[in-house]
């Protein structure tokens, strides 16, 4: 079960309602795992991020080449992390051919981090002459 908590009153109600089930399960000798973490990006942010990356991919040539949106996502995330002083790792490839960049997956970004990345992508695109399609948050392509 995954529950998104919005405020302390709602959190208290959810936990109070779950306690009897938790207690019963534990008393029956079964284990439970309770994980509390910040909410990750939402579907609207995901759609907007990919739409912005597609606009960049369609309009920007980098190092003499055109790249698809997935490669642009990797390039943008790595550059965004470096700008925040959260450097992605550059590790020798397992097969000995070059290096691989290891960075945080966008699906694990918090809503705040994803919003920052989207703004970074807009800024990068604007600096490189990208004409972004008009979109509203939540509008799908």
What residue ranges do the domains of the chain occupy? 1-36, 43-127
Give residue-wise pLDDT tens across range 10-59.
999 999 999 999 999 999 999 999 888 887 888 899 999 999 999 999 99
Residue 19: the pLDDT is 94
Angle between helices 69-83 and 111-127 (to 10 degrees): 100
Contact 56, 130 (CB under 8 A): yes
Give the confidence band of 136 by pLDDT, cuts at 50, 70, 90. Answer: low
Give the pLDDT mean for 74-80.
92
CA distance 116 to 135: 17
CATH 1.10.3790.10 applies to domain 43-127: yes
Residue 137 predicted with pLDDT over 50? no
Q: Please state, in angstroms and as integers, the Cα–Cα distance from residue 47 to each residue in 2, 24, 26, 51, 75, following that order.
A: 22, 41, 40, 6, 18
- Number of residues written out for the chain: 141
The per-residue pLDDT for 35 is 86
Task: For residue 8, report the phi and psi dihedrals to the nearest 5 degrees.
Answer: -65, -35
Residue 93 neighbours by CB distance under 10 Å: 9
45 close to 118: Cβ distance less than 8 angstroms: yes
pLDDT at position 38 is: 81
- Assigned token pair, 104: 């945080």
């Amino acid at each position: 079960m995954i529950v998104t908590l919005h405020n302390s009153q709602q959190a208290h109600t959810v936990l109070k309602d779950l306690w009897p089930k938790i207690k019963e399960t534990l008393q029956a000798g079964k284990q439970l795992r309770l994980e509390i973490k910040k909410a990750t990006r939402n579907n609207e942010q995901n759609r907007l991020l990919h739409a912005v990356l597609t606009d960049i991919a369609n309009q920007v040539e980098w190092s003499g080449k055109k790249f698809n949106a997935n490669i642009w996502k990797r390039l943008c995330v790595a550059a965004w992390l470096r700008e925040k002083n959260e450097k992605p790792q550059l590790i020798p490839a397992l097969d000995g051919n070059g290096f691989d960049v290891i960075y945080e997956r966008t699906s694990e970004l918090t809503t705040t981090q994803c919003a920052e990345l989207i703004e970074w992508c807009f800024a990068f695109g604007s600096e490189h002459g990208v004409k972004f399609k008009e979109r509203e948050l939540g509008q799908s392509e």
